[in-house]
Copies of this chain bind each other. A is one copy, B any other.
């Protein structure tokens, strides 16, 4: 009995590989945008056959964590597997369902945020709110939409619940590809800005119920904008995060 191997053949090699690679990605060792070593290198580093490795890489690709390009290499595309799945699921849902779920999360997160917010949160929200109140020219509408998105994400983040934050973000991603920038009338924009100010007030005052109520009002207003009929049915569900951006130099082999 020199060597007794049998003990651990619990999980398939490919499964173990998937877990290993996934933890490499989720831990940030392979940041998004990284070009991972070519299959040949990984095969000899990990000591597995190419088929096995490819099965693992394929799984991660279909999970949305990796993206392989023929003739180029394989890149890290996202750090969370929940994202791609959630986006795909949300894209397959009726838009009002997605909006409703997101609204639910946002309202409640606003309430919690009022309880857990830091001084820093309040400062950021106040800045964004003030900014949105100032802009009114049509050409700033794009900036306003961006600020609005940041505002709501900041509110949700102040809830300090990472799982809630993540789900909220993914729903937002799924929606963004669907509705994009909507036009705002002047009166609506003014009301919108005023409500945001009140939301910040409530959060600053640690008024859970008030924050939730204001958030509900904002959500209702937003929904009225979004339900405008038109491009209802499908939209490409690829979302396509940044990827043309930071590609590690191709010839960087050793690291």
Chain A residues with CB under 8 Å of chain B are: 14-15, 18, 51, 54-56, 58-63, 80-82, 85-86, 88-90, 93, 97-98, 100-101, 104-105, 107-109, 112, 161-164, 166-167
Contact = CB atoms under 8 A, between A and B. Distances in A.
Instruction: Pick the 4 closest A-B CB pairs, nearest first.
Output: A59-B62, A55-B58, A104-B108, A59-B59
Contacts of A100: 112, 161, 164
B97 A161 contact: yes
B14 A58 contact: yes
Contacts of A61: 15, 59
Given A82-B85, A101-B164, 12 more contacts: A18-B62, A51-B51, A51-B54, A59-B59, A80-B89, A82-B86, A89-B163, A89-B166, A90-B163, A101-B105, A107-B108, A108-B108
Contact of A58 (B59, B85, B93, B97): B59
A173 to B, nearest CB: 14
Contacts of A62: 15, 18, 59-60, 63
Contacts of A93: 162-163
B97 A164 contact: yes
A38 to B, nearest CB: 17
Given A81-B85, A85-B81, A164 B104 contact: yes
A89 B166 CA distance: 10
Contacts of A15: 61-62
A162 B97 CA distance: 7
A81 B85 CA distance: 7
Nearest to A82: B89
A93 B164 CA distance: 10
A200 B11 CA distance: 47
A101 B156 CA distance: 12
